[in-house]
C-alpha cells in the first residue's frame, strides 16, 4: 500500500523487523510500519507558547530597565534638590571637662545649631568620636537629643565619657603634660521634611585639660 500524499509537513518513520527462523533460513518476514506524523499542530503547540514566553520576558526586561531608569532619575533629582536646598548650620563651640566619676571622666561638648526654617526640626541622634594621640579614646551616640527651634539657634550639650583605663594609658604616654590635643568628630542626624534623614558632619580640634591623679582617685 502506497502512503498517502499529504501536503502538510510530516515525518515518516520506518521500522523494519527481520525475523530469521531457526529452521528455515530462507524465511524472512519484513514488517514495514510507516508512521506519518503530521507535525503542524505539534510544532505550533510547542513553538507558540515558547514564542509568547520569550516575548513576555523581553517586555518584562524592558519594563524593569525603564523602572530602573526612572528610579535613578528620581534619586538624582532628589539629590540635586537636597544639595541646593538650605540646611541647618552647626558648629562645635566648646569642649570642656565636666565630671570625674567612678566609671571615668565626662567631657561636655557644646553644639550650636541654626535652623533656617520656621518649623521645628527633630534631631534624630548625634554620634561622636573623640581622638587623642592618634587613638580613639571615646565614641558613642546621643539618641533623640531634642528638636531645633524654628528660625532660631539651639544649643545642644553632648556628654562624652572616657573610661579610666583609657585615660590612665593616655597619661602614661603623654607624661607630665596635662593639656592634650584632641580631635572631636560628630555627625548630626536631623529629619528634614519631605527629604528624610540627613547627616551634618562636624569636627573640632583643640586642647583640653586632663584631671589630676588626685581627682581620679577621689
pLDDT in tens, 136-157: 999 999 999 999 999 999 999 9
Same domain, 113 and 54: no
pTM (global) more than 0.75: no
Same domain, 100 and 69: no
- pLDDT 10s digits, 168-180: 787 776 665 567 8
Same domain, 40 and 103: no
Question: Are 160 and 140 contacting, i.e. CB atoms less than 8 angstroms apart?
Answer: yes
The answer for residues whose C-beta is within 8 angstroms of residue 184's C-beta and 6 or more apart is 92, 95, 109, 128, 129, 130, 131, 160, 203, 204, 205
- pLDDT 10s digits, 172-204: 766 655 678 899 999 999 988 777 888 999 999
Distance CA 218, CA 216 (A): 6
Domain membership of residue 160 as a residue range: 89-216
Our count of domains for the chain comes to: 2
Residue 102 main-chain phi, psi, to 5 deg:
-70, -30
Closest residue by Cα to residue 167 from 128, 132, 129, 214: 132
Amino acid at each position: 500500500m502506497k502512503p498517502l500524499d499529504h501536503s502538510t509537513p510530516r515525518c515518516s518513520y520506518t521500522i523494519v523487523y527481520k525475523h530469521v527462523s531457526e529452521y528455515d533460513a530462507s524465511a524472512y518476514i519484513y514488517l514495514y510500519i510507516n508512521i506519518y506524523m503530521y507535525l503542524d499542530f505539534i510544532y505550533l503547540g510547542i513553538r507558540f507558547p515558547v514564542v509568547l514566553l520569550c516575548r513576555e520576558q523581553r517586555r518584562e526586561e524592558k519594563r524593569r530597565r525603564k523602572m530602573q531608569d526612572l528610579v535613578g532619575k528620581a534619586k538624582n533629582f532628589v539629590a540635586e534638590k537636597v544639595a541646593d536646598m538650605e540646611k541647618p548650620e552647626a558648629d562645635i563651640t566648646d569642649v570642656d571637662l565636666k565630671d570625674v566619676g567612678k566609671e571615668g571622666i565626662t567631657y561636655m561638648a557644646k553644639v550650636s545649631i541654626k535652623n533656617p526654617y520656621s518649623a521645628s526640626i527633630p534631631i534624630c541622634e548625634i554620634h561622636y568620636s573623640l581622638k587623642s594621640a592618634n587613638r580613639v579614646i571615646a565614641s558613642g551616640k546621643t539618641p533623640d537629643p531634642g528638636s531645633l527651634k524654628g528660625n532660631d539657634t539651639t544649643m545642644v550639650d553632648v556628654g562624652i565619657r572616657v573610661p579610666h583605663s583609657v585615660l590612665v594609658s593616655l597619661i602614661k604616654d603623654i607624661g607630665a603634660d596635662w593639656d592634650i590635643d584632641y580631635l572631636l568628630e560628630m555627625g548630626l542626624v536631623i529629619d528634614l521634611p519631605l527629604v528624610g534623614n540627613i547627616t551634618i558632619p562636624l569636627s573640632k580640634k583643640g586642647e583640653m585639660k586632663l584631671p589630676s591623679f588626685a581627682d581620679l582617685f577621689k
